[in-house]
Chain A
Amino acid sequence: MTRIMTDVLVIGAGLAGERVAIEAAAHGYQVIVLSLVPPRRSHSTAAQGGMQAALGNMAMSQGDSADVHFEDTVKGADWGCDQDVARLFVNLAPIAVRQMAYWGVPWNRVVAGPRQLPDGQMVEESLEKEGLIAARNFGGTKKWRACFCSDGTGHSLVYTMDNVALQLGVHVHDRAEALALIHDGQRCYGAIVRDLRSGELRTYVARATVIATGGHGRIYGHSTNAVINEGTGMAVALDTGVVPLGNMEAVQFHPTGVVPGDILVTEGCRGDGGYLLDKDEHRFMPDYEPEKKELASRDVVSRRMVYHMRQGYGVESPYGPHLWLDIRHLGREHIEKNLRDVAEICRDFLGIDPLHQLIPVRPTQHYSMGGVRTDIDGAGYGLAGLYAAGEAACWDLHGFNRLGGNSLAETIVMGMVVGRTIARDIASSEFALSEGVIRSATMQVEERLRGLASYGLEYVYDLRQRMSDILMEKVGVFRNGRQLTEAVEELLELDERAKHLGLLSSGRGPNPEVSAALRLPGMIRLAITIAYGALQRTESRGSHYREDYPARDDANWLKRTLATWPPDADLPHLSYESVRITELPPGERGYGEAVAVAGKEGARV
């Protein structure tokens, strides 16, 4: 088996992974980045909305500062985050945005002069700020703070980041999938990797290994995430038995993903006055939320939608039940001008004309706050030499609810921090490689491959379908003790069945069935970790909502779930650590269920 040695191995070439790589390379270390796909196709590219950083250049962001950003972030997290991390983050975010500008991101800029906001208000952009980086409005923030590049913020960031990585000589090995970490229970030595071009296995030995593999959205059947976001990075960390995943039960949903395809349509649709209709074309939101109607906050609307569909009012389709979003009454001018993206998605992907037809939507998994637990420097718990960054990490900036626009900023800021930590650690640490450790990791993976070729009882896509159905139905926006217990039981049963996965096809070369079959057991274990964590957490906080415990419970639950899966255990082992509160004591969020702020969640997130 080919063995590749490097100083730093970054698993994942999204914004987070590449930013770590750049920082480490700039410190003079050799870096190899692995990715399932060419870096520029990573999911970060799909983020359209913006990146939060308190620059305060716009009329509507006057008075913004790191402090205000901090407050928004902590409230958004429902006090579930670490406040020292949030502080570090808000202080670095403006530098990150400016550095991206320096590297070539064409951020939209301030144009001086008066202009009218969509709600009719007039503001005057100051001449003094002309040409500085502009910002737009985003849900859950006091000030306009989301820096953006037209409708392709993530795209421009990724392309620029990859350019710099190329310039610095960072080696990217794309179409390579990390299957297991090489470790001895104390230290991480790299990863066993499958080449998705040829199907061969390779060993990467590294002094520092970084997990930056993005979210796990696709374990839910319906997710706005890219189809490669299957949480494999989190799964290989969980597989070690010693690395804990933090707050896996914290999963964010978005009310309006289109059916089929689950592409996200902006909340602006509802903000601007769109209705949600059921199968009888009845507008049901006023029945549940007489005051806010469709404009209640994201999680509330999602929950009401799911509830209504459960009552049998969903529209049946070959893709499962859904509801309708109706924007016909907003009129051609408004739709073509303010909701152009929505109109384009409808026309291109659904063949629907939103001026005259209803849009099929349903609540859809959107973001994973949980991930590989790290300290404030980005070093993973449990193994020396292991780090994590981006959506795959639980640095714990987002707590139980991520603020729109904070995740792009997190990927870059955390990338800087982790890169520097690595440079510091490598310089000061000893590295002694033991062949036995590598051999046992290799054998474990080879064993899995052999198993696939020989058993052949269960079909991977059947099990996967079943897993995502369970998650969607029982561990979705609504949770309760009974269903969570069922979910855990059913998922455990799947876990057992997944031991007997087989192949229908030859399995030769870069066979996609083999890839799926290698991923599935890990995905099922992530699913169990989510369900089990949610079952234990008997409160509602942020996006985690328990029907049987609808209130936040700071007395007992102002703490973070840490889940490890010891070898041969039947269930994940949960422990808890308290969240660090340094500045802002727990209080009212100010935009929760009771006081959802209408129209403020405008932009695409």
Chain B
Amino acid sequence: MSGRRKEKRVMRAPEYLGQPRYAGDDGDGHRPVSGFMFQGQATSLPLPREQAAALGRRLPLVTWPSLTAAMLELATSISGLGLAVFLFIHMGLLSSVLLGAQSMDALGAFLERYYLLHAMAPLLILLLLAHVLLVTRKAPTTFRQQWILMRQLRRIGHLDTWTWAFQVVSGAALLVFASIHLWTALTDLPIEAVKSADRVSTYLWFDIPFVLMVVGHACVGLYRIAVKWGLLSRRGAYGALVALMAVALALEFAIVSTFYGLGGGL
């Protein structure tokens, strides 16, 4: 066997030289062992009395910190789910335009008559705000975290890590897009096909990325809910993601192009 060696300096400081990785590590790598030590005969190993008593007594099921952690986790997924469901209802309503401008106007008038929109909009905005607050607990908010995430993405190029990064980026973008959209839609009531068509054909450069972002974010979000909570198998969830995304994108673009057509763009 033959061989040779060659050297190349790397200027990048290695990431491995961090501080001790956990509390109680005194730096020499020995196991931290305080806190759960007791003595007894190994061959029968009776527990010391206090420990045995603690096991026998039923502890309060949960304490506040862990209770809130669990509830916030549930709330995050529920807020995302709520927004995604809203998006699909919203898409369903908008697709009335595919049947013609009149049917959309009729729908708009109906919503207006019963003040459905006025009732829904504040709730929706609250939900959106809640969602944003909840997800920022986990999203990489500091520069250090973002840098770590980017390094990891570059290095292992793992698909599901990418989808999460996409969630973060698209979410941040949506914060802007959705605010503008809500502003324009809600300040120009009632909903009428002509007005929308007007907006779409003028601001197409806004609508296309918006649609891509929102559909992507919602579908990937649903996929993530499914795998995180184990509702579907990995394969199943992935299939569902692709199918849902295809249908939603097709429908949204049908809607947008109809508006564009109505607005005289075609």
Does A pair with B? yes
A contact residues vs B (CB 8 Å cutoff): 22-23, 25-28, 95, 99, 164, 166-175, 197, 318, 416, 419
26 contacts between A and B (CB under 8 A): A23-B42, A25-B39, A26-B39, A26-B40, A26-B41, A26-B42, A27-B39, A27-B42, A95-B43, A164-B42, A166-B33, A167-B36, A168-B37, A168-B38, A169-B36, A169-B37, A169-B38, A171-B30, A172-B30, A172-B31, A174-B29, A175-B29, A197-B28, A197-B29, A416-B42, A419-B42
Contact A173 to B33, CB < 8 A, known contacts A26-B42, A168-B39: no
Q: How far is the CB of B51 from chain A (nearest CB, A)?
A: 10
Output the nearest chain B residue to A96 by Cβ-Cβ distance.
Answer: B43
Output the nearest chain B residue to A170 by Cβ-Cβ distance.
Answer: B33
Output the nearest chain A residue to B41 by Cβ-Cβ distance.
Answer: A26
Q: Are B42 and A169 in contact (CB under 8 A)?
A: no
Complex contacts, A173 vs chain B, CB 8 Å: 30
In the complex the two chains form, what is the Cα distance from A99 to B44 in whole Å?
9
Please provide the chain B residues from 22 to 67 with a CB less than 8 Å away from any CB of chain A in the complex. 28-31, 33, 36-43, 45
Complex contacts, B40 vs chain A, CB 8 Å: 26
Contact A169 to B33, CB < 8 A, known contacts A22-B42, A416-B43: yes
User: A99 touches which one: B28, B29, B31, B43 (CB < 8 A)?
Assistant: B43
Output the nearest chain A residue to B28 by Cβ-Cβ distance.
Answer: A197
Q: Does B1 sit within 8 A of A, measured CB to CB?
A: yes
In the complex the two chains form, what is the Cα distance from A37 to B24 in whole Å?
21
Output the nearest chain B residue to A95 by Cβ-Cβ distance.
Answer: B43
In the complex the two chains form, what is the Cα distance from A171 to B45 in whole Å?
18
In the complex the two chains form, what is the Cα distance from A197 to B41 in whole Å?
34
**Which 8 A/B pairs are nearest by Cβ-Cβ distance?**
A169-B37, A26-B42, A23-B42, A28-B39, A169-B33, A22-B42, A26-B41, A172-B31
Q: Are A171 and B42 in contact (CB under 8 A)?
A: no
Complex contacts, A171 vs chain B, CB 8 Å: 30-31, 33
How many A-B pairs with Cβ below 8 Å? Answer: 44
| Given pairs A25-B42, A26-B40, 6 additional interface contacts (CB within 8 A) | A27-B42, A168-B42, A169-B38, A171-B33, A197-B28, A416-B43
Complex contacts, B41 vs chain A, CB 8 Å: 26-27
Complex contacts, B1 vs chain A, CB 8 Å: 318
Residues of B in contact, count (CB < 8 Å): 15
Output the nearest chain A residue to B40 by Cβ-Cβ distance.
Answer: A26
Complex contacts, A174 vs chain B, CB 8 Å: 29
**Central interface residue in B1, B39, B42, by most chain A CB within 10 Å:** B42
Q: How far is the CB of B63 from chain A (nearest CB, A)?
A: 24
Q: How far is the CB of B27 from chain A (nearest CB, A)?
A: 10
Q: How far is the CB of A92 from chain B (nearest CB, A)?
A: 10
Complex contacts, B42 vs chain A, CB 8 Å: 22-23, 25-27, 164, 168, 416, 419
Output the nearest chain B residue to A172 by Cβ-Cβ distance.
Answer: B31
In the complex the two chains form, what is the Cα distance from A171 to B37 in whole Å?
11
Complex contacts, B36 vs chain A, CB 8 Å: 167, 169
Output the nearest chain A residue to B35 by Cβ-Cβ distance.
Answer: A169
In the complex the two chains form, what is the Cα distance from A149 to B28 in whole Å?
35
User: A26 touches which one: B29, B33, B45 (CB < 8 A)?
Assistant: B45
Complex contacts, A164 vs chain B, CB 8 Å: 42
Q: How far is the CB of B14 from chain A (nearest CB, A)?
A: 15
In the complex the two chains form, what is the Cα distance from A190 to B30 in whole Å?
19
In the complex the two chains form, what is the Cα distance from A167 to B51 in whole Å?
12
In the complex the two chains form, what is the Cα distance from A27 to B42 in whole Å?
7
**Central interface residue in A167, A170, A174, A419, by most chain B CB within 10 Å:** A167
Complex contacts, B45 vs chain A, CB 8 Å: 26
In the complex the two chains form, what is the Cα distance from A597 to B29 in whole Å?
50
Complex contacts, B28 vs chain A, CB 8 Å: 197
In the complex the two chains form, what is the Cα distance from A175 to B30 in whole Å?
10
Q: How far is the CB of A161 from chain B (nearest CB, A)?
A: 11
Complex contacts, B31 vs chain A, CB 8 Å: 166, 171-172
Q: How far is the CB of A428 from chain B (nearest CB, A)?
A: 18
Complex contacts, A25 vs chain B, CB 8 Å: 39, 42
In the complex the two chains form, what is the Cα distance from A318 to B31 in whole Å?
42
Q: How far is the CB of A483 from chain B (nearest CB, A)?
A: 28
Output the nearest chain A residue to B32 by Cβ-Cβ distance.
Answer: A171
Output the nearest chain B residue to A26 by Cβ-Cβ distance.
Answer: B42
Output the nearest chain A residue to B1 by Cβ-Cβ distance.
Answer: A318
In the complex the two chains form, what is the Cα distance from A25 to B39 in whole Å?
7
Complex contacts, A166 vs chain B, CB 8 Å: 31, 33
Q: How far is the CB of A456 from chain B (nearest CB, A)?
A: 20
Complex contacts, B43 vs chain A, CB 8 Å: 23, 26, 95, 99, 416
Output the nearest chain A residue to B29 by Cβ-Cβ distance.
Answer: A197
Complex contacts, A28 vs chain B, CB 8 Å: 39
Q: How far is the CB of A98 from chain B (nearest CB, A)?
A: 11
Q: How far is the CB of A177 from chain B (nearest CB, A)?
A: 14
Output the nearest chain A residue to B33 by Cβ-Cβ distance.
Answer: A169
Q: How far is the CB of A173 from chain B (nearest CB, A)?
A: 6
In the complex the two chains form, what is the Cα distance from A137 to B169 in whole Å?
59
In the complex the two chains form, what is the Cα distance from A584 to B31 in whole Å?
47
Q: How far is the CB of A32 from chain B (nearest CB, A)?
A: 9
In the complex the two chains form, what is the Cα distance from A289 to B45 in whole Å?
53
In the complex the two chains form, what is the Cα distance from A173 to B40 in whole Å?
23
